[in-house]
Amino acid sequence: MEGRRISPIFKVFGVFTYLFRVDWLHAVDQGVGADLLGNLLCMIMPKMPGSTIDEKVANIWKECQVYYDTWQIEDRIKDLHGKDFRGNKTNPPKMKGSAAQIRALIQFGKEMANKYLDDTVPREMAAKTAAHHLKNCYQALAESSEACRDEAFQASAKAFAFQYHALWVSFGKGRHWRPKPKMHLFLELCSQLGVRPNFFWCYRDEDFGGSVSRGSKMKGMWKNLSAYTKHGLDMFCMKNPAPRIVQSTM
């Protein structure tokens, strides 16, 4: 109706929109979770010890290292700089890192908010509440939360979105706490009854894609897709032993 092109995949027999699912990795880990952490650290940073931004960020990094060691986190960011979460004049704050690294920092964001933000300051209380509710959504992924998963997803997702939007309004609807389209995907995902995001997220697919990309890397410019894919297959054969076919005697 809008005159836009329809994806060719819908020409395949039996492919309809209801077959598609919102992926937690892109909607939450690389979406609202990364956005929350970026805005949260921007709010906490002025409260950290230090006379310069670099010193304040360094103290956040020290807190992060203690958190990693305490919880024995494996998926760690290598370092932390202001540019890793502050954004710029046009782009809103957002934490940089892989999906697994961002996911591992959600609890850290909640702990830092509880430690440094003041309940008597409306903005800070709203940020603490937002961090709490997003953590609840992550907690609902656990098998132990099966009995109340729908309720936790729906209630906490809505509460998180309300607080996030309220913060954006309080900051003058500028770049800080600006809701993005992935907020809508997140709410859609959490509003579905009986949803089990861990049944259809693409962590393994993303990891495999990264492995293929690294294995197919070529020096110089490759001129066509055939050369690139052939190089990837050659590298795979070099790095992996040929499978053995054993005939059963039974």
Both ends of the chain: CA-CA distance in Å? 62
Rounded CA-CA distance 129/135 in Å is 10
User: If we measure between CA atoms, which residue out of 123, 128, 117 comes closest to residue 170?
Assistant: 123
In a domain, 175, yes or no: yes
Number of separate domains in the chain:
1
In a domain, 3, yes or no: no
Residue 170 in this model has a pLDDT that exceeds 90: yes
* pLDDT computed for residue 62 by the predictor: 98
Residue 188 in this model has a pLDDT that exceeds 80: yes
Question: What six digits make up the tokens of 146?
Answer: 């099966």
Q: What is the number of other CB atoms lying within 10 angstroms of the CB of residue 10?
A: 9
In a domain, 120, yes or no: yes
* pLDDT computed for residue 1 by the predictor: 86
Residue 245 in this model has a pLDDT that exceeds 70: yes
Rounded CA-CA distance 127/67 in Å is 20
Rounded CA-CA distance 191/39 in Å is 25
* pLDDT tens-place string over residues 33-60: 999 999 999 999 999 999 999 999 999 9
In a domain, 161, yes or no: yes
Least confident of 153-157, 214-218, 239-243: 214-218
At 125, is the pLDDT very low, low, confident or very high (cuts 50, 70, 90)?
A: very high
In a domain, 42, yes or no: yes
In a domain, 236, yes or no: no
Rounded CA-CA distance 95/77 in Å is 10
Residue 222 in this model has a pLDDT that exceeds 70: no
Rounded CA-CA distance 57/76 in Å is 16
In a domain, 250, yes or no: no
Rounded CA-CA distance 159/162 in Å is 5
* pLDDT computed for residue 68 by the predictor: 98
Question: What six digits make up the tokens of 113?
Answer: 């908010």
Rounded CA-CA distance 70/188 in Å is 34
Mean pLDDT of 28-34: 97
Mean pLDDT of the chain: 92
Tell which wins on pLDDT, 41 or 223: 41
Which run of H or of E encompasses 135?
helix 122-139
* pLDDT tens-place string over residues 58-101: 999 999 999 999 999 999 999 999 999 999 999 999 999 999 99
* pLDDT computed for residue 241 by the predictor: 86
Rounded CA-CA distance 201/178 in Å is 26
Long-range contacts of 196-204 (CB under 8 A, 24+ apart): 196/149, 197/22, 197/23, 197/24, 197/141, 198/24, 198/141, 200/21, 200/23, 201/23, 201/24, 201/25, 202/23, 202/25, 202/26, 203/25, 203/99, 203/100
What's the DSSP call for residue 2? Answer: -
- The boundaries of the domain holding residue 181 are 28-196
* pLDDT computed for residue 223 by the predictor: 65
